Amino acid sequence: MMAKEERARALNAQLREEAEGGGYHLNPDQGWTLGLASGLLVNEERYGYRACPCRLASGDRASDTDIICPCDYRDLDLHEYGACYCALYVSDEVLRGERELRPVPERRPDKRPSPRVASTAVGVRLWRCRVCGYLCAREHPPGVCPVCRAKADRFEEFVLPPSALPGG
Amino acid sequence: MNSGSRKKPSMYGLSTCGWCAKARAWLESNAESYELVYVDLLDEPQRARVLDELRSRVPKLAFPIVLFGEECVVGYDTGEYERLLERAG
């Protein structure tokens, strides 16, 4: 029993450290994140992967890659709601107490496209950190550059010349 | 607050979920009694049956789901729980 609690505490501390190092924030409520860390360990034991504790995993990793923590929806939910679906991660505004933490509606589609194909030309925006050149493909720039810690306003949208696109 | 309620609420949740834990704590403090089903702990046939039933009642499956008679609330929403619990009473 103690071993499980200790493992959850260790994971909680590790996730917090990794989040801060990558420009993210874990929920400041330690009790909340400890509970979710326990849930992640339960899911790892049950299914073999750390599925989001607030979603029902299928047991089939290939069907659930989008909900393995950190899930595919984290950054969109952080941007729109100030927290990820299970509220393990929170935004700067929530951390500073400028935004209320509220439950996040489920955005995971009931039917997901399969096979999953990353789009380079349609639907995905590219952002470039003007300070260090870090590039990422996502709907909004990250709050903080995970490489050099520059703030979101130091990012610019990176537009590929048509000649660089497939068929261009 | 809810003496003589005819239909006790039923909560469907996940044993690992933080919002489900909060919903359960709310029911613990506010409902005279309630039923609790942790869907992730059900065996496969039971789980399939429960999920089919829930899918027929909610537009999108997410947890917790709290049923108050014919009405149901998806997600942790104490305002809605309170309103429907009072109505059920």
Which of A55, A54, A65 lies closest to A118 in space, CA to CA?
A65
Superfamily of domain B19-88: Glutaredoxin (3.40.30.10)
Tokens of A61: 């990793």
How many residues make up chain A in this entry? 168
Band of pLDDT at residue B3, cut at 50, 70 and 90: very low
Inter-chain CB proximity B75 and A103 less than 8 Å: yes
Q: What is the mean pLDDT of residues B33-59?
A: 97
> Does residue B10 surpass a pLDDT of 90?
yes
Tokens of A63: 């069907």
Find the residue in A nearest to B60 (Cα).
A110
Inter-chain CB proximity A103 and B17 less than 8 Å: no
CATH 3.90.460.10 fits A2-95, yes or no: yes
Inter-chain CB proximity A53 and B17 less than 8 Å: yes
Domain boundaries, chain A: 2-95, 126-164
DSSP state at residue A23: T
Cβ atoms within 10 Å of B60's Cβ, excluding its own: 13
Inter-chain CB proximity A53 and B16 less than 8 Å: yes
Inter-chain CB proximity B16 and A106 less than 8 Å: no
Q: Which residues, in sequence order, are bridge partners of residue A135?
A: A128
Q: What is the ipTM of this complex?
A: 0.90
CATH class of the domain at A126-164? mainly beta
- pLDDT of amino acid A115: 52
Q: What is the mean pLDDT of residues B23-51?
A: 97
Which of A97-101, A109-113, B11-15 shows the lowest mean pLDDT across its residues?
Answer: A109-113
Domain boundaries, chain B: 19-88
Give me the total of CB pairs closer than 8 Å, taking one residue from chain A and one from chain B: 51
Residue B18: list chain A partners with CB under 8 A: 32, 35-36, 39, 53-54, 86-87
pLDDT tens digits, residue range A57-90? 999 999 999 999 999 899 999 999 999 999 999 9
